Amino acid sequence: MSTPFTPSRAAGLARLQSFLPRAGRAYAAQRNFDRGPDDRTNVSGLSPYVRHRLVTEAEVVRAALGAHGLAAAEKFVQEQFWRTYWKGWLELRPRVWTDWLAGVEAAQRALEADPATADRHTVATAGRTGIDCFDAWVAELRDTGYLHNHARMWFASIWIFTLRLPWELGAALFMRHLLDGDPASNTLSWRWVGGLQTVGKTYLARRSNIREYTDGRFDPPNLAHDAPPLTGPQAPPAGRLPDLATPDPDASTGLLLHEEDLAPDSLDIATRVAGVAGLRASPAHSPTGVAPGVAAWVADALDEACGRAGDMFGVEPMRPAGPDPLAAVVDWARTAGFRQIVTPYAPVGPVADRLAAIETALAPHGVRLVRLLRPYDRACWPHATRGFFTFKEKIPVLIRELGLD
């Protein structure tokens, strides 16, 4: 994989500063154009950094507002809050994530019993459909770990309605290859295209729309002309955020970083840290496996963040590896004599699942795992009970409440 995204906080901050002059009305006017991997000047390209919190959402919003104000930067700011909304929505309904995992398993079994669908799946994932835009996007996805947001919507629509493939396997393909593959944004966006998220409302990729917003690079004939809503498990009612323990300021403490939050610089830890380690969970990104280039990028980003944290606290980071990184984390905590491990809160997804397993393994040794939820998430997520447009009305209030203006 050859990607333009360097896995470091410094690279993310440099990209933010470079894009800021275009984060106002220019972004609102041009953001929907996919001009290809050689011209991404109309979008920020920040998503791999924000997804892993090498740069935080709060930093991006504050910078955009400082440069343009809310009226001019409204669209750019809303796009940052879309990610927050999706995370909060899934956090309040974790069963939707487990339903998707079960759906992937069922779809894989169905492929084994249906050679015609299996052949279409093989052709699609190899980028040999003959649909010019789709095949180009498959190649770009594999080569760079990135797709323009508009292209992701078109891709998902063609996958579901033209190629007639299970949406769950398309979402798994994205999670396998995207550097910014996010359990919430990815799963719920695919559900939205298929008519499961907003029940009955689907997204149809149209030839004229693709031609217009790719500046004529693509003009695909023979796309589906209708998009009948998919059927599947309905989302449960919104639940509530969990009650979290607080760190003991006097306990010997280790800091465990993971790919969901690589900004220890702005994490309110509230206790002295005597050791730093990183949890590598990228192999669990997708139930169908993760691309080697993605795994390497995330590992490098985690190492870089651990290095920064080690410098902050004057310790040498431990980088657990090998066949069982979970066991390595437990051994690290026991050997160091920690009484608690603090870690950034991981929202619903594979990292949260691994932290739950670590918590269970630490308990017999008298070691607590304490999850640190950022004020940004604590303030925003409870408002993700309905659709985004209801959430959007809260954005000006949240900006003031969080001191981002």
- Domain membership flag for residue 282: yes
Domain stops at, among 165, 196, 213: 213
Assign residue 38 the CATH number of its domain: 1.25.40
Domain carrying residue 295: 253-372
Residue 57 neighbours by CB under 8 Å, 6+ apart: 50, 80, 81, 83, 84, 376
Does the pLDDT at position 219 exceed 90?
yes
Q: Measured between alpha carbons, how far is 312 from 69 in angstroms, rounded to an integer?
A: 33
In this structure, are 392 and 320 located in the same domain? no
Q: Is residue 69 part of a domain?
A: yes
Rounded distance, CA 225 to CA 101, Å? 30
State how far the Cα of 386 lies from the Cα of 384, in Å rounded to an integer: 6
Q: Is the pLDDT of residue 1 over 80?
A: no
The pLDDT of residue 2 = 81
Report yes or no: 81 and 391 within 8 Å, Cβ to Cβ.
yes
pLDDT in tens, 93-140: 999 999 999 999 999 999 999 999 999 999 999 999 999 999 999 999
Give helix 132-144 / helix 167-177 axis angle, nearest 10°.
40
pLDDT digits (tens, 9 = 90+) for 62-102: 999 999 999 999 999 999 999 999 999 999 999 999 999 99
* Residue 286 pLDDT grade (very low, low, confident, very high; cuts 50, 70, 90): confident
pTM: 0.96
On the CB side of 141, how many CA atoms lie within 13 Å of its CA?
Answer: 27
Q: Which residue has the tokens 């192999």?
A: 283
Instruction: Please tell me the predicted confidence (pLDDT) of residue 318.
Output: 84
Residue 189, pLDDT above cutoff 70: yes
103, 184: one domain: yes
Q: Is residue 233 a part of any domain in this protein?
A: no
352 and 386 share a domain?
Answer: no
Do residues 282 and 347 share a domain? yes
The pLDDT assigned to 161 comes to 98
Spell out the residues 6+ positions from residue 52 whose beta carbon is closer than 8 angstroms to its own. 180, 259, 260, 261, 262, 298, 301
Residue 230 included in any domain: no
Q: Of 153, 187, 213, which residue constitutes the final position of a domain?
A: 213
Residue 159, Cβ density class (10 Å: 0-12 exposed, 13-18 middle, ≥19 buried): buried
Q: Taking residues 40-52, what's their average pLDDT?
A: 97
User: Same structural domain for residues 123 and 198?
Assistant: yes
Indicate the pLDDT class of residue 3, thresholds 50, 70 and 90. confident
Residue 320: predicted pLDDT = 63
Q: How many domains does the chain have?
A: 3
Report the alpha-carbon distance of residue 55 to residue 10 in Å, rounded.
9
**pLDDT at residue 227 tops 90:** yes
- Is the residue at 335 inside a domain? yes
CATH of the domain at 147: 1.10.579.10
**Does 242 fall in a domain?**
no
CATH number at residue 363: 3.40.50.620
Report residue 363's pLDDT band, with 50, 70 and 90 as the boundaries: very high
Whether 353 and 392 map to the same domain: the answer is: no
Q: Is residue 219 part of a domain?
A: no
DSSP sequence for 162-212: IS---HHHHHHHHHHH-TT--HHHHHHHHHHHHTTTTTT------HHHHHH
- In the predicted model, what is the mean pLDDT of residues 281-287? 78
Predicted pLDDT at 375: 96
The pLDDT, as a whole number, for residue 282 is 73
Give the model confidence (pLDDT) of 232-257 as tens digits: 888 999 999 999 999 999 999 999 99
Same domain, 34 and 49: yes
Give the pLDDT score at 367. Answer: 96
* 24 shares its domain with 126: no
Residues 323 and 264 in one domain: yes
User: Token pair for residue 371?
Assistant: 């999850």
Could you tell me the two tokens for 9?
A: 């906080």
The tokens describing 231, both together, are 């059927």
Per-residue model confidence as pLDDT tens digits over 299-349: 999 999 999 999 999 999 987 666 677 888 999 999 999 999 999 999 999
Spatial separation of the C-alpha atoms in residues 374 and 379, rounded to whole Å? 9
Whether residue 222 lies inside any domain: the answer is: no
Residues 259, 301 within the same domain: yes
Task: Give the bridge partners for 277, in sequence order.
Answer: 256, 318
Residue 325's pLDDT is what? 77
Per the model's pLDDT, the better-predicted residue between 283 and 386 turns out to be 386
